[in-house]
Amino acid sequence: MSEPAAAPVQAPRTDPLRALVLAGGLTFEREVSINSGGQVVEALTRAGVEAELHDADAGLLPGLSATPVDAVFIALHGATGEDGALRAVLDLAGVPYVGSPAAACRLAWDKPAAKSVVRSAGVSTPDWVALPHSTFRELGAGAVLDLIVARLGLPLMVKPASGGSALGVQKVSRVEDLPAAMVSCFAYGDTVMVERFVDGVELALSVVDLGNGPEALPAVEIAPESGVFDYTSRYTPGLTEYHAPARVSDAVAARAREVALRVHEVLGLAGLSRTDAIVTPDGEVHFLEVNVSPGLTETSMFPMAVEAAGYRLGDVLGRLLARAAHPEA
């Protein structure tokens, strides 16, 4: 993987860039989002940007109208920040923001749909089936689950068809544990995606566009103590080891970079993204899902990748905001 030529610098300005950082929301990921938003404000402030933290509530649009900002940085995780709805409202209000457009977010938010598009583009992804709760209710859960196991085998990964932070994600190794995993998963959404488990090294592949086209940052290797990168492993200090750059061969690193850039391209993403992938022992890189609003907490992989690339997080975020505010520059 080629090294970046130089750390990004913000475009010269006679006055500080003014940004609103949106965090919080009402999803299951509210706490993580607030943590991300706080880290973003700190990093931007160190980089000389006037950044203010704000929740996505009824005061947002009146506030933006009364006190305009140069651009908005969306640090909301979950539906509000990642399903495209908030971005569509900001588009209606004429407020520029960092990141992917609403339509691309809607596609990326729907994991089965994103996997279909990515597979059609020639990227490997584990086989899966996605079914709404009504299917199990109408056709009988036992019969449907038997078909899933017959088709995909064991072990399986059970996860909500949309959402992040690994909420509701479980590995199922025994057929008798599958019904309980499905019930637990339905607590986070009406549709569950059951995916064939692929054993290997898990990677977080971050992409950023600072003005010269999308750039894949060094891959971050994720090594959870439990073997599964679930919510607990993700946010409990000490339960997961991270290696940035990942401990993979140059050939695998190059393939991972190609996958991240390809996913970013075919899904129509912009600004920044983070693709989650698994590398099998034979070196094949399998796409799992993509995040349009990647975590930016102290234990998140995007900041690790930025640091591994030799960049400063505040400079990267500031450059993204400057490009959003002045796309013609």
Active site residue 295: yes
Active site residue 42: no
User: Which one is catalytic: 106, 274, 319, 323?
Assistant: 274
Active site residue 165: yes
Active site residue 146: no
User: Which one is catalytic: 235, 271, 318, 323?
Assistant: 235
Active site residue 29: yes
User: Which one is catalytic: 29, 55, 83, 202?
Assistant: 29
As given in the structure block, the two tokens for residue 314 are: 């505040």
Active site residue 82: no
Active site residue 91: no
User: Which one is catalytic: 163, 164, 189, 295?
Assistant: 295
User: Which one is catalytic: 55, 70, 221, 276?
Assistant: 276
User: Which one is catalytic: 36, 291, 293, 300?
Assistant: 291
Active site residue 35: no
User: Which one is catalytic: 35, 165, 293, 300?
Assistant: 165
User: Which one is catalytic: 55, 195, 202, 289?
Assistant: 289
Active site residues: 29, 165, 235, 274, 276, 289, 291, 295
